[in-house]
Chain A
Amino acid sequence: MILGYLDPGTGSLIIQTVLGGAAGLAVLFKSTKRRFADRKAVVEPAITDVPSPKLAEQKTES
Chain B
Amino acid sequence: MFDPGSFRDPASRVFHRGDQIFRSLSREGQDDWQALRQSELFRRWSEAGELIGTRPSPAEAGILTHDKVPFWSYPYEWSFSMLRSAATMHLRLLEDALTEGLTLKDATPYNVQFIGSKPVFVDIGSFTKYEPGEPWIGYRQFCRQFLYPLMVRAHADVSFQPLLRGSLDGISAETARSLLRGRRATKPGVAADVMLQSRAEKTMSDSSRNVRNEMSTAGFSAELILTNVRRLKKVVEKTTWDPGQSTWSEYAGCEHVATQRGPKEMFVKRVAGNQHRRLVWDLGANDAYFSRSIADLADTVVAIDGDEATVDRVFQSLTADGPDNVLPLLMDLADPSPGLGWRGTERRKLEDRGLPDLVLLLAVVHHLVIGANLPLAAVIDWIASLNAEVVFEWVPIGDPMSQRLTANKRRTEVHSDYDEVSFRRYLDGRFEIREELPLEGRRLFHLIPVS
A residues in contact (CB < 8 Å) with B: 1-21, 23-24, 26-28, 30-31, 34-35
6 cross-chain pairs, A with B, having the tightest CB-CB distances, nearest first? A11-B200, A20-B224, A31-B218, A12-B140, A11-B201, A30-B218
Give me the interface of B with A, judged by CB distance under 8 Å: 8-11, 28, 103, 105-106, 128, 131, 134-141, 143, 192-193, 196-197, 199-205, 207, 209, 211-212, 214-221, 223-225, 227-228, 231
Are the CB atoms of B140 and A9 closer together than 8 Å? yes
Contact of A27 with B204 in the complex, beta carbons under 8 Å: no
Report yes or no: A2 in contact with B137, Cβ–Cβ below 8 A: yes
Docked complex Cα distance between A17 and B269 (Å): 58
With contacts defined as CB atoms under 8 Å apart, how many contacts are there between chain A and chain B in the complex?
119
A10-B204 in contact (CB<8A): yes
A1-B201 contact in complex given A13-B212, A20-B225, C-beta closer than 8 Å: no
Contact A19 B192 (CB under 8 A): yes
Complex contact B204–A5 (CB within 8 A): no
Give the distance to chain B from A17, nearest Cβ to Cβ, in Å.
7
| A14-B227 contact, Cβ under 8 Å, with A4-B137, A9-B140 | no
Question: 20 other contacts beyond A11-B199, A15-B196, A28-B218, with CB at 8 A cut-off?
Answer: A5-B8, A7-B140, A8-B136, A9-B201, A9-B204, A10-B200, A10-B211, A11-B204, A12-B139, A12-B201, A16-B215, A17-B220, A19-B228, A19-B231, A23-B221, A23-B223, A27-B219, A31-B215, A34-B217, A35-B214
Q: Shortest Cβ distance from B238 into chain A, in angstroms? A: 16
Q: Jot down 9 A-B pairs with beta carbons below 8 A, ordered by A.
A: A1-B134, A1-B216, A2-B103, A6-B138, A9-B201, A14-B200, A16-B225, A20-B220, A23-B224
Shortest CB distance A32–B (Å): 9
Q: Are A5 and B228 in contact (CB under 8 A)?
A: no
Check if B220 sits within 8 Å of A8, measured CB to CB. no
Q: Are B137 and A11 in contact (CB under 8 A)?
A: no
B215 with A10: CB separation less than 8 A: no
- A20 CA to B28 CA, complexed, in Å: 29
Q: Which residue of A lies closest to B193 (CB)?
A: A19
Residues on the B chain within 8 Å of A19, using CB: 192-193, 227-228, 231
Closest to B142 in A: A12
A26: B residues at CB distance < 8 A: 219
Do the beta carbons of B134 and A2 come within 8 Å of each other? Answer: yes
Nearest CB to that of A21 among chain B residues? Answer: B227
Given A10-B207, A11-B203, do A1 and B140 touch, yes or no (CB 8 Å)? no
Residues of chain A with a CB closer than 8 A to B28's CB? 3
User: Is the Cβ of B105 less than 8 Å from the Cβ of A4?
Assistant: yes
Cβ–Cβ contact B9 & A13, under 8 A: no
A16, B106: Cβ atoms under 8 Å? no
Chain B residue nearest to A10 (CB atoms) is B204
For A2, what are the chain B residues with a Cβ–Cβ distance below 8 Å?
103, 105, 128, 131, 134, 137
Q: How far is the CA of A14 from the CA of B210 in the complex (A)?
A: 11
CA distance A24 to B230 in the complex (A): 14
Task: Name the residue of chain A whose CB is nearest to the CB of B133.
Answer: A1
Instruction: State the CA gap A11–B209 with chains docked (Å).
Output: 11
Residue from B103, B137, B196, B228 within 8 A of A20 (CB atoms) = B228
Q: State whether A27 and B224 are in contact (beta carbons under 8 Å apart), knowing that A6-B141, A34-B217 are contacts in the complex.
A: yes
Separation of A39 and B204 alpha carbons in the complex (Å): 18
CA distance A36 to B225 in the complex (A): 25
Chain B neighbourhood of A21, CB < 8 A: 224, 227
Q: Are B197 and A15 in contact (CB under 8 A)?
A: yes
Q: Which residues of B contact A17 (CB under 8 A)?
A: 215, 220, 224
Is the beta-carbon distance between A24 and B227 smaller than 8 angstroms?
A: yes
Point out the residues of chain B lying under 8 angstroms from A13, CB to CB. Answer: 135, 139, 211-212, 215
Complex: A4 Cα to B205 Cα, angstroms? 19
The residue in chain B whose Cβ has the minimal distance to the Cβ of A7 is B140
Partner of B214, one of A8, A9, A34: A34
Alpha-carbon distance between A12 and B105 when the two chains are bound, in angstroms: 15
Chain B: which residue is nearest A26 at the CB level?
B219
Contacts of A14 in B (CB 8 A): 200, 204, 211, 215
Chain A residues within 8 Å of B106, by CB: 6
Residues of A within 8 A of B201 (CB): 9-12
A34 touches B231 (CB 8 A): no
